[in-house]
Amino acid sequence: MMGSWMILFRRWRSGFLLFRPAALALVVVLAAFGVALGSGLPGGASAALALQVTVAESAFVPLAAQPASAVFLAKAAPSQPQGLPALPARSGALEPATPVPAWVSLEGRRVIEIRSAAGAQTPELLARRATQDLRLLAESTVAPEQLQVRELPPYTMIGLVGDDGRFNPRLAVDDRAAAAFGLSREELATQYRDQLRGAIRQFRSSHTPLSWLRGTALALLVLAIYLLWIRGQNWLNLQLAARIDRLARQGGLGLRLGGSQVLDSQQGQEALQLLRRLGHWSFLLLISYLLVPLLLGLFPPTQVIAEGLRSHLLQVVERLLNGLFGAIPSLLTIALILVFTRLVMQACSAWFLAIERGRLQFPGFYPEWARPTGRLMSAAILTAGLVIAYPYVPGSGSKVFQGAGLFVGVLAALGSSAVATNVISGLMLIYTRAFQEGDRVEINGVVGLVQDRDLLVTRIQTPRDELVSIPNATVITSAIVNFSFSRREIQRPVAIATTVTIGYDVPWRQVQTLLLQAARSTEGIAPDPEPLVLQTSLNDFHISYELNAHVLEVDAYRETLSALLAAIQDSFAAADVEIMSPGYHAIRDGNARTVPPPP
């Protein structure tokens, strides 16, 4: 068997030798044939009998359902057949109070059950010696019909009738054994005799040269079918691999969930190819495993081994099916809980969507709170559903689940501090209405549109199409300038301001006129409220003029400011006024003063 698995492993590593499975099957057949030959020899009898299976299978009616007390009596007899040794005599000691049943078997198949033994022998010892005696009897030339039943009170004896007509008792049935069956001694002894005759006949019929030839022919036929199966499975495997590659080249293996790309085409191809290889080799190993008991069952000496392998496989399948059918009520309960949870989440989402769109209104609850609050409620409902469904998960009380829960708890404890800080900060930003998605803001020196606002981070798209992610813990501690708030909340446009410095030699009324003229000529400046010019300071050599104007579209804030600055330059250039801040070193020696003439 080790060689067969090594062959499979090497074929898996190479992938191009097509006939390695044929070699595997040949090795299995040769091994089965060798085991059968070894077990068929006299020296191999004990090897076949070493496997004690729990399946009673023979050509006669088993006595497994009818426990009895049987005693082998070894008495010297002149007509004892050649090669059949007598068992030593035992005294009639009392049986143990609680007998342990044992079986007399032939080639691993149960024939007679022994519940008690006369004398000092245990049922196990008696059954073992009787098994050896039955094996020798089956291999001898004694006819099964020579097994007869005779009354020798207080026992009913089962023994051999020799050629000279003398009776050699081999098995004694007493009243206690018959009472255990609810039968008479003669009826129970007759059943025992029939059991032994049937076992001997089956043993001899299965050990003829014809049965060996038939088993060999069937083994070769099974081997041929196995090779054809492997070739067909290899062909299907190659076709499936080529099909997956074609779909991957066409881009049809991507996976999207909820509008999000979970797997691209290449990743889907790799996942499907991995599943294909696992399925191919798993199925091939399963077929190879099923081939072993099938081949061993074709040869009489190894049929018990085949029965053991088949029974082991059936037990595994039975446990799996029992576990599956036993888990059906729990799985149905989980399904009902999840379906109900899903319905409640959908109802919650629809309710908050109506609030967001204005179809439902509650005093003090703003529409922009609806979406994040709905997400929080959905998460809470989902968590509650999972907690309720967890006890119904098969194996939820096992050590594996407990270890996984402990591991998740440790990870949550290690990362909970930073996560909790950002989550709390995100909730504060939501319910303080500092900004909304789509607002133009300036946070921590970053100016742009709010692209996304999560519980952990806030993402801002800059005018250069850069996406900046700022942790909410940083956002909550920074000054937030919201350029979209006034238009949305108080229905007034946001203002832009620019400052120019002009010398004292230019009249301030002319400067104010030129600035207002530039503001009114700029596209994107709102006519209402009207632009406003403020003199913010009288400096040593110049005056600071601040022009305030309101923009129509806050999204075009930068473009409007740039157009306003260009209009100011054009307006001053047309009036032949220099935009500069002069510096003076005045000497009062008759030089001209910079005081403008009176209006």
Q: How confident is the model over 383-432, as pLDDT tens digits?
A: 899 889 988 888 777 777 778 778 777 776 666 666 677 777 777 777 77
pLDDT of 93: 40
**Whole-number Å distance between alpha carbons of 357 and 126:** 89
User: Residue 330 above 80 pLDDT?
Assistant: yes
User: Residue 48 above 50 pLDDT?
Assistant: no
pTM of this structure = 0.45
List, in order, residues 6 or more apart from 524 with CB less than 8 Å away: 551, 552, 553, 556, 559, 560, 563
Give the residue among 206, 105, 192, 106 at the shortest CA–CA distance from 156: 192
Where is 135: in which H helix or E strand? helix 123-139
* 528: its two tokens: 């209402």
pLDDT of 342: 92
The fold for domain 440-488 equals SH3 type barrels. (2.30.30)
Domain boundaries defined on the chain: 2-19+214-298, 57-207, 334-414, 440-488, 493-574
DSSP assignment letter at 395:
T
84-99 burial: b if 16+ Cβ within 10 Å, else e: eeebeebeeeebeeeb
pLDDT of 391: 85
DSSP string, 150-190: EEETTEEEEEEE-TTS-EEEEEEE-HHHHHHHTS-HHHHHH
What is the average per-residue pLDDT within 537-561? 87
CA dist list (Å): 525 to 83, 408, 528, 575: 123, 57, 9, 22
DSSP string, 76-116: --TTPPTT-PPPPP---PPPPSS---EEEEETTEEEEEE--
Our CA dihedral for 221, 222, 228, 231, rounded to 10 degrees, sits at: -140
Residue 404 CB burial class (10 angstroms; 0-12, 13-18, ≥19): exposed
The fold for domain 493-574 equals Alpha-Beta Plaits (3.30.70)
Cα 291 to chain centroid, rounded? 30
What is the average per-residue pLDDT within 310-326? 84
What is the average per-residue pLDDT within 275-304? 85
pLDDT of 544: 92
Q: What are phi and psi of 259, to 5 degrees?
A: 80, 0
User: Residue 295 above 60 pLDDT?
Assistant: yes
DSSP assignment letter at 525:
B
CA dist list (Å): 383 to 339, 343, 390, 413: 14, 14, 10, 18
